[in-house]
Structure 1
Amino acid sequence: MGKMKCDISHKKFFRSTALVLVTSLLLTLFAYVPETQSASSPRTGGSYYNYGEAMQKAILFYKANRLGDLPDDYILPYRADAAMDDGKDVGLDLTGGWADAGDGIKFTHPMSYAAGQLGWAVYEYRDAFERSGQIDDILDEIKWATDFFIKANPSPEVLYYMCGYEASDHSVWVPHEMLDYMTDRKSFVLNAQTPGSDVAGSTAAALAIASLIFEKTDPEYAEKCLKHAKQCFAFGDKYRGKNPLDTLYPSGGYIDDLAWGAIWLYIKTNDSTYLDKAKELLPPTKLGGGHTHCWDDVSYGAGLKLAQLTKDPEYIKVVEKNLDSWMPDGSITYTPGGLAWLSQWGSLRYATTAAFLAFVWSDDDTVCTPSKKQKYHDFAERQVNYALGDNPRGGSYVVGFGENAPVHPHHRTAHGSWTSQLETPSFHRHILYGALVGGPGSDDSWKDDIKDYMLNEVATDYNAGFVGSLAKMYDMYGGDPLENWPQPEDFRDPQDDIVEYFCRGWIIYEGYGTTNIMFQINNRSAWPPTMKDKLSVRYYMDLSELFEAGKGLDDVELKLLDHQGAKLIGLKQYKDNIYYFTVDFTGTRIMPTEWEMCEKDATVQIKYKDMNIGSNDNDWSYQNLSGPPDYKATSFAGLTPYIPVYDDGKLLWGEEPEGGTPTPEIKYGDLNEDNSIDAIDFALLKKILLGDKPDNVNLSAADLNVDGEVNAIDFAILKSYLIGNIDSLPKKS
């Protein structure tokens, strides 16, 4: 939800020498000391954790936040296509990319930072990703983001910086798959009249880095990325100004982003014009302070790369000044347990990214001061290990990794609410593997609470520097990634694997040969969340007593009473004396988004003309029914498998009476049943309408609007489908 991701108010820390000395003394006296360490030596690194597994899971997190057209065999079974309307409002395809955090908004600025940071990790530690078998996975994730940046830059002086917005997106708490149904996915653009040099510079950097790391595996794509990197940089440099976003991600400036883009374009092209531009934008005098590399201030990473490229003593000095501020004897606040703590917003994100910078710097003997090399290295290891479990609570801050890991991250899709409420359900339906949560307060305190988006939110920028630090830890200490992983989820609620869709039923009235039954169809889907508009339920009746008394179907009256978009389809024979009627919600959207949307009601009156003949007691679907409904009871009250749920006529959930004839499957439009809908079917339908019914034709498949009749309306529907005016026909029944 709401967040100030890069707390610029904490960029500088002014402390007197006395305060620093007192703080250092207190930290020494009260520092957290693990049982496996001596009191004089805080834990600073080593192969304490499986860094290969941690890296594997941290990369997987990005797949949980993907938007767009996902593969049918997607590795995460709870995810499906999402935000497929992005760009339609401006006549473009802006699908793809990542949802930002626990919400569903797509921001180009922090996304480009995250993609660039992941790419920087590959640039520095490619061998670690290759040896661990993770290179294809991380390149695939980076490409998912850069593909979006290319779409977002349809012409040289246009760059889209956001899809969706706070007022709409944060008004609901729904899975990503439901965004198009519940939120306004408006697109926001930067151009000559509305500049955004910060977004353009950061995007240029991400694309330039991508062009570097894809040279080896996909040179054609690398060139495509370079083209757009140059375009984005030129646009941002020509039309200078901050992007207009003033909520969630208000930018602190754009000079650092332009310098960041120029540096990576220089590394890629060796064109000194870009290096000169970077030095002009970001001279050593503009660097320093106690913050670190983050989505809104990339000057620290930019300064580090400038120092490496130029070997200029002034750049080297300011880089080490910044790193020194993060050391235990520097100006940064340290928690009693050893976390270098910068801000309450994503404290672990800052610490693990500062660790990445410290690793990269200490690895470079051409610039790093020899006497500081080990100090920087030890600092970085300690911050990573703190996140993985070396902390006072003895617990990991990475979902699905290690001991006492978070299970309630602030993430809408992992939670899987069907009511747009953080309280429903009380558990998370999915494990958000690899997500680094915000982290503890300055006293090491932390609560695993979905409502606390300050300490327990996750974000694409949070994981970015963390992945790079894990790659370095793997490079040093190894640790095998898990094989044949991820496995199918271990459902948190024993009912969840069987009740995504179900019916609840209650007797509203019973007497004098009349029974009123309320049917409530439910969609609480989460594997994946799915909108359904062809759901129905069937009530199975045993009419033996009527037939034995010489009565017939005309002696049973069915009437639809109060309902929410249903229609009643009369009695049909199932087998022998067992018949069923259908309460059909086709055309009504039922989806896991709000109480009013995830469940729909209909009440049906069953009336026997002779109240002395006819009973519901022997009906298959009468089992377990009671009433009236108690809405204060559990949300599964009234659940009955004996009133089955169907999707477009196919059994979805519940139990039918034994021995019936299975409902035949129909592919509408496929009249000759050759599994293809084409001109032959069109010709056959024309013959039928002219009164010449050909042999071997499935007449049911000709009823395109499923109204029980084959007529000119069906002919028009099939024609529209074949010429491409409509995308689909009813599927199967």
Structure 2
Amino acid sequence: MCENRGQSGKLFRIMAVILVTSLLLSTLIFQQKVQAASSPRTGGSYYNYGEALQKSILFYKANRLGDLPDNYILPYRADAAMTDGKDAGIDLTGGWADAGDGIKFTHPMSYAAGQLGWAVYEYREAFEKSGQLDDILDEIKWATDFFIKAHPSPEVLYYMCGYEESDHSVWIPHELLDYRTKRTSFKVDSTTPGSDVAGQTAAALAIASIIFEPTDPQYASTCLTHAKQLFSFADKYRGKNPLKTLYPSGSYVDDLAWGAIWLYIKTGDPNYLDKAKAVLPVTSLGGQHTHCWDDVSYGAALKIAQVTHDTGYAAMVEKNLDWWMPGGGLKYTPGGLAWLSQWGSLRYASTAAFLAFVWSDDKTVGTASKKDTYHKFAESQINYALGDNPRGGSYVVGFGKNAPEHPHHRTAHGSWTSMLTVPAFHRHILYGALVGGPTSDDSWKDDISDYTLNEVATDYNAGFAGALAKMYDMYGGEPLENWPKPEDFRAKEDNLTEYFVRGWIIYEGYGTLNLMFQINNRSAWPAAMKDKLSARYYMDLTEVFESGHKLEDVEITLGQSQGAKLYGLKQYKDNIYYFTVDFSGTQIMPAEWELCEKDANVSIKYKDNCGSNENDWSYKNLYGPPDYDAVSFAGMTPYIPVYDSGVLLWGEEPFKQEPGFTYGDINSDGSIDTIDFALLKQILMGSTPGNVNMQAADVKADGEVNALDYAVLKSYLLNMIDKLPQ
């Protein structure tokens, strides 16, 4: 027996030596990799961390819902989800859409806002130096404003607007959510508790109360009031949110601890610290995961350890971080990514990197000999996302080499058929979005339909932005100046026209011309529902009048149509007349085939065969019979213009004599720009600046200068219409 025990012990010692040697070797290889990966870049391969940070914040503007500013920095975005809360009798507009879909979840949104706020708390100077502080505070406030709305009384919190079955049944831009989905509101209260979502939201607002104190103390005070009430509600009625949601919580105690520790940091009230430690004791910590929307125990433990210097909590923080190090237990891809899950692998790695940065920066708590390893790990993970990977490509849309071009995001894609395959490219560049990331073997495909690898989300970018702030703080990199410009958001391949008419000849002969008109709305700058669209067919009736016939001898009739009315004939100039196919009252929107296009059949008959259409302005480019689908542009003709409320939206009208000036060029400097827009605003406010052309201010060319001219010029400058009246 003793001999056998001796052989067993020897075998065990040999295996132990092999294991230790293997761990030391993998750690050495890792350290060599990160040593090379985390040094500041030089020359053309330098990572501009300032630009990456700038773009990572801009992503949140692409996911805003609610009433957006008229001069919004993203020209492809406009007001969206404006009915949120209507079913509950309150205003729940605002906040962020969660991911590539359009549902609004308070739980992951409060995690993202809190995480961004934590980044400002830790690295405020980096945000200031990079010029991004105002931008990130503005984004955080967009979310916290919603949380305040969603908390109308101390024991009520709305946690979701919209739901999966309705929202995921369509693939439409956010601007059309109100038209095609049900925006049902869901809440937690004293009878249906939700300590998870309430605790998380309390934390986000407590953090906001800290970071807004230097710039807006009144708002900081408001945030603190709501944070205290929400924490009290979450603590009093304990339980997970039981209602159906795409974000079911694993626990609520972590959320309570997260809210409590930040309230302690803000207020200094020891009751909050005691509560945080009570609901999150040391014995519950050290798990194999990281900080995320569903488990904030890692962040809570880190902050508890920092404020208390409790060695037990510090040990558990390091136990978790050690698990993320090579040889610690977590799987690594061959290219060096700490890979936790197929769902948002980069989200977890970049957030673990943020925690590692924060912990390694603190010289007052923890094991000093480990801090350098944690720090290098964090750098390597962020650099992997930016390009230090076997693919040699960035995983951030619009940044670096070989960046993703097909993120799973409905508005960036801009489909008018509610299909992921139409169009085959994205109409907008979703700058700064961190995609889910590669598989465990570093493989990845830029495919919109693979939402596992290409989903983007507000929680994905949150830890990433904070880690980028630290990278910028260390290595610099200038954010782009005078960026973004409107043209930066139009995909290079995208030459699509948003509004147009397709026309076909159904029959022609014996003084009769039967036409089919199809009016199209494929708008994406921004996507818009239109219910006042019309098209005009311009005719030259010279031969009719020269033959002695009258206008009454030309008969225009409407056949089958999808909601159209027919008006005409109306004189345009001399012998040129037009009739109008008016779809006013019919909703036309880029939401699906049946909604993005509407048809009307029109017949033109000449008495005694007195006329011909061959010299008509609008006859050019017509052919038939129709052969089309909802993807192609077959039959598109600019000579049948499209109008919105009577204002030319697209196409070409018959030649008009040049007026000797350019409509919209109010200061006559040869260009139509924001200066002209400002001058027109002054004119409408009753002030007439000197050296202005009042005729050019009549942008709509209807003989009056009024609010309609202001609206038309604004639409033109935002690329919502192709041209101004000529």
TM-score range, shorter chain: 0.7 to 0.9
The CA deviation at 1:631 is 2.3
Which position in structure 2 is the counterpart of 1:687? none
Q: Does 1:627 align with 2:624?
A: yes
CA distance in 1: counterparts of 2:191 and 2:521, whole angstroms: 46
Q: What TM-score comes out, normalization by structure 1 length? A: 0.85
Matches within 5 A, 1:432-581: 432-490=430-488, 491-492=490-491, 496=495, 499-581=497-579
Aligned to 2:606: 608
Letter of the 2:563 counterpart: G
User: How far off its partner does 1:614 sit?
Assistant: 1.1
Pairwise mapping of residues 29-108 of structure 1 onto structure 2 (< 5 A)?
43-47=37-41, 48-108=46-106
Q: Paired residue for 1:671?
A: none
2:241 aligned partner: 243
* Other-structure match for 2:646: 649
Q: Where in structure 2 are there 5+ consecutive unaligned residues?
A: 1-14, 665-682, 686-701, 705-724
- Structure 1 pair 122–39 and aligned structure 2 pair: CA distance change class (3 A): closer
Aligned residues: 650
- Alignment correspondent of 2:120: 122
| Matching residue of 2:353 | 355
Q: Give the alignment of 1:700-715 within 5 angstroms.
A: none
Distance (Å, rounded) in 2 between the aligned partners of 1:73 and 1:41: 45
Unaligned segments of structure 1, at least 5 residues: 1-15, 666-673, 677-698, 702-731
Distance (Å, rounded) in 2 between the aligned partners of 1:39 and 1:70: 45
CA shift for structure 1 position 368: 2.4
Does the aligned pair in 2 maintain the 1:543–1:578 contact within 8 Å?
A: yes
- For residues 703 and 584 of structure 2, the distance between their equivalents in structure 1, rounded to whole angstroms, comes to 18
Aligned CA distance change for structure 1 residues 572 and 402 (closer, same or farther; 3 Å) = same
Cα distance in 1, alignment partners of residues 639 and 547 from structure 2: 26
How far the C-alpha of 1:487 sits from its partner, in A, is 1.7
SS of the residue 2:486 aligns to: coil
Deviates more, 1:71-80 or 1:47-56: 47-56
Judge conservation of contact 1:417–1:593 (CA < 8 Å) in 2.
yes
Residues 349, 546 of structure 1: alpha-carbon distance in 2 compared, 3 angstrom cutoff: same
Mean Cα deviation higher: 344-353 or 626-635: 626-635
Match of 2:634 among 634, 637, 640: 637
Question: Does structure 2 conserve the Cα–Cα contact (< 8 Å) formed by 1:346 and 1:439?
Answer: yes
Per the alignment, do residues 40 and 359 of structure 1 end up closer, same or farther by CA in structure 2, a change over 3 Å counting? closer
**Paired amino acid for 1:620:** W
For residue 338 of structure 2, the aligned residue among 337, 340, 348 is 340
In structure 2, distance between residues paired with 1:21 and 1:112: 42
Task: Note if contact 1:112-1:145 (Cα within 8 Å) is conserved in structure 2.
Answer: yes
TM-superposed CA distance for 1:511, in Å, is: 1.8
SS in 1 for 2:426: coil
C-alpha deviation, 1:245, in angstroms: 4.0
Asked if 1 retains the 8 angstrom alpha-carbon contact of 2:533 and 2:642, the reply is yes
- The one-letter amino acid of 1:253's match is S
1:150/1:495 CA distance change after superposition, 3 Å: closer
Q: Contact 1:45 / 1:382 at 8 angstroms: preserved in 2?
A: no
In the alignment, which of 585, 594, 598 is matched to residue 587 of structure 1? 585
Q: Cα gap change, 1:135/1:20 in structure 2, threshold over 3 Å: closer, same or farther?
A: farther
In structure 2, the CA distance between the partners of 1:38 and 1:318, relative to structure 1 (3 Å rule), is closer
Aligned to 1:679: none
Contact 2:34 2:379 (C-alpha < 8 Å) held by counterparts: no
- C-alpha contact (below 8 Å) 2:111/2:459 kept by paired residues: yes
State the identity %: 76
**How far apart are 1:45 and its partner, in Å?**
3.9
Letter in 1 for 2:319: K
In 2, the alpha carbon distance for the partners of 1:395 and 1:629 equals 45
Distance in 1 of aligned mates of 2:243 and 2:638: 50
Structure 1 contact 415–429 (Cα < 8 Å) conserved = yes
3-state SS of paired residue (1:138): helix
For residue 655 of structure 2, what is the amino acid of its counterpart?
E
The 1:39/1:460 distance shift into structure 2, 3 A limit, reads closer
CA distance in 1, matches of 2:17, 2:230: 48
Which residue number corresponds to residue 715 of structure 1? Answer: none
Amino acid at match of 1:492: A
Asked if structure 2 preserves the Cα contact closer than 8 Å seen for 1:397 and 1:406, the reply is yes
Amino acid at match of 1:627: G
Distance 1:178 1:211, change over 3 A: same
Q: Deviation per CA, 1:483-531, whole angstroms, max 9, x where unpaired?
A: 000122353366636x111111001111222111000111111111111
Residues of 2 paired with 1:39 and 1:357: CA distance? 20
46 and 290 in structure 1: CA distance in 2 versus 1, 3 angstrom threshold: farther
1:575 maps to a residue whose letter is K
Report 1:290-309 matches (<5 A).
290-309=288-307
Q: Is the 8 A contact 2:448 2:454 kept in 1?
A: yes
- Quote the Cα distance in structure 2 between the aligned partners of 1:590 and 1:260: 47
The structure that is helix-richer by fraction is: 2
Alignment match, 1:724: none
Superposed displacement of residue 452, structure 1: 0.6
| Contact map agreement 1:352 1:384 (CA 8 A) in 2 | yes
Are the equivalent residues in 2 in contact too, given 1:575–1:661 (CA < 8 A)? no
Match among 193, 196, 201 for residue 195 of structure 1? 193
CA distance in 2, matches of 1:25, 1:246: 47
Once residues 104 and 315 of structure 1 are traced to their aligned partners in structure 2, the CA distance between those partners, rounded to angstroms, is: 39
Query: 1:52: Cα distance to partner?
Result: 0.6
Measured against aligned partners, the alpha-carbon deviations of 1:290-327 in whole angstroms (never above 9, x if no partner) come to 10000000000001111111111111111100000000
Judging changes above 3 Å, is the alpha-carbon distance between structure 1 residues 380 and 675 closer, same or farther for their aligned structure 2 residues?
Answer: closer
Whether contact under 8 Å (1:574, 1:661) holds in the other structure is: no
1-side partners of 2:21 and 2:395: how far apart? Answer: 29
TM-score (norm 2): 0.86
Aligned equivalents of 2:203 and 2:643: distance in 1?
Answer: 51
The CA distance in 1 between the partners of 2:425 and 2:188, in whole Å, is 40
* Greater alpha carbon shift after TM alignment, 371-380 vs 309-318: 309-318
Q: CA deviation at 1:659?
A: 2.3
Contact map agreement 1:45 1:385 (CA 8 A) in 2: no
Q: Which residue of 2 aligns with 1:379?
A: 377
